[in-house]
């Protein structure tokens, strides 16, 4: 029986305790700030916000490169001789990371790559689904596990509202005119992962608490999410009262388990402080 090793990128924002408990191997993406290259996970998110306050610019983010993937896979196969690696990857539509993994994997046997077409909590939901399958059936064949994971990719749903439009503007994701209009009207865009791409699907008006409730209501109305597990994603700065309210709504909606996931440096660079998102798997 081959040991199966599950891997993913830091852009999954998989909490450290889950990484360690389930032995998921995580390869870091990059943040470029003040002319320095930082590995995602090594840079406090607060430093990104401080950088923006100083410069009114956001750092840039870059994918895990081919050489890093080669070393990543090599180290795993060295630590677990004869293992089979299933890499559950960050959407190929928003980063070159997955394509770099594809190129690197050509040098290795027993490396299977899955493009989840998702990021942060949506990607984490698929990783944890894989973890659950593997723990239920440790002797499962790698090929069958990979097919089971792939079958869930179209059912992973992620929606979020960014914390500050200033970060979207600084990153060139909204025009100056759109930014000014949205700011004056207190409008925040809802962003969904649609076929692997970040798409603005709706606009909400109001304060953070009302926007979060509207998002939750619309999300649960639109998607038939499995009530076994729900993921909430937040970037630092989200009001604790919003967290408590979202927990209440999730409980009232019949969810058995809820997990809060803090956005790491790569995701926070684009979402800004106080962002809120929801992820789950449809039945």
pLDDT at 179: 38
* Secondary structure letter of residue 271 according to DSSP: H
Burial (0-12, 13-18, 19+ Cβ within 10 Å), 215: buried
Give the H or E element holding residue 215. helix 208-222
pLDDT at 100: 98
275 or 180: which leads in pLDDT: 275
Mean pLDDT across 275-281? 97
Out of 110, 130, 152, a domain closes at 152
Q: Can you give the CATH number for the domain in which 85 is found? A: 3.40.50.10440
Are residue 83 and residue 215 in the same domain, yes or no? Answer: no
Q: pLDDT digits over 109-118, tens only? A: 999 999 999 9
Instruction: Indicate whether 173 pLDDT > 80.
Output: no
pLDDT at 63: 96
Q: How many domains does the chain have?
A: 2
Q: Can you give the CATH number for the domain in which 187 is found? A: 3.30.1180.10
Determine phi and psi for 242, rounding to 5 degrees.
-65, -40
pLDDT at 189: 86
What are the start-end ranges of the E strands in the chain? 4-9, 25-27, 30-33, 36-39, 60-62, 84-89, 111-115, 156-161, 187-194, 197-205, 229-234, 257-262, 276-281
CA–chain centroid gap for 22, Å, is 18
Q: pLDDT digits over 2-24, tens only? A: 899 999 999 999 999 999 999 99
Does residue 180 belong to any structural domain of this protein? yes
Does residue 93 belong to any structural domain of this protein? yes
Q: pLDDT digits over 62-98, tens only? A: 999 999 999 999 999 999 999 999 999 999 999 999 9
Binned at pLDDT 50, 70 and 90, residue 186 comes out as low
pLDDT at 15: 97
pTM: 0.94
pLDDT at 169: 58
Enclosing domain of residue 255:
156-281
């Amino acid at each position: 029986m081959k040991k199966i090793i599950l891997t993913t990128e830091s852009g999954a924002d998989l909490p450290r305790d889950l990484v360690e408990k389930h032995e998921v191997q995580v390869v870091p993406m990059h943040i470029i700030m003040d002319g320095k290259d930082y590995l995602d996970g090594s840079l406090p998110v607060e430093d990104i916000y401080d950088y923006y306050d100083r410069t009114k610019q956001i750092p840039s983010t870059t994918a895990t490169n081919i050489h890093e993937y080669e070393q990543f896979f090599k180290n795993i196969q060295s630590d677990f001789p004869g293992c089979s690696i299933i890499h559950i990857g960050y959407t190929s539509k928003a980063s070159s990371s997955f394509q770099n993994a594809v190129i690197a994997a050509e040098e290795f046997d027993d490396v299977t790559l899955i493009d989840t077409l998702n990021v942060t909590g949506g990607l984490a939901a698929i990783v944890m689904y894989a973890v659950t399958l593997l723990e239920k059936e440790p002797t499962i064949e790698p090929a069958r596990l990979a097919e089971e994971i792939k079958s869930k990719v179209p059912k992973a749903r992620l929606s979020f509202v960014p914390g500050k439009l200033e970060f979207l503007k600084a990153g060139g994701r909204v025009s100056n005119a759109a930014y000014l209009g949205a700011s004056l009207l207190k409008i925040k865009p809802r962003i969904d992962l649609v076929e692997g791409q970040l798409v603005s699907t709706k606009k909400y008006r109001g304060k953070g608490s009302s926007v979060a409730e509207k998002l939750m209501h619309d999300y649960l109305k639109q998607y038939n999410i499995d009530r076994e597990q729900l993921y909430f994603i937040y970037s630092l700065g989200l009001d604790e009262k919003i967290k408590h309210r979202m927990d209440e709504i999730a409980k009232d909606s019949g969810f058995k388990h809820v997990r809060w996931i803090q956005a790491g440096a790569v995701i926070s660079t684009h979402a800004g402080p106080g962002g809120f998102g929801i992820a789950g798997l449809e039945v």
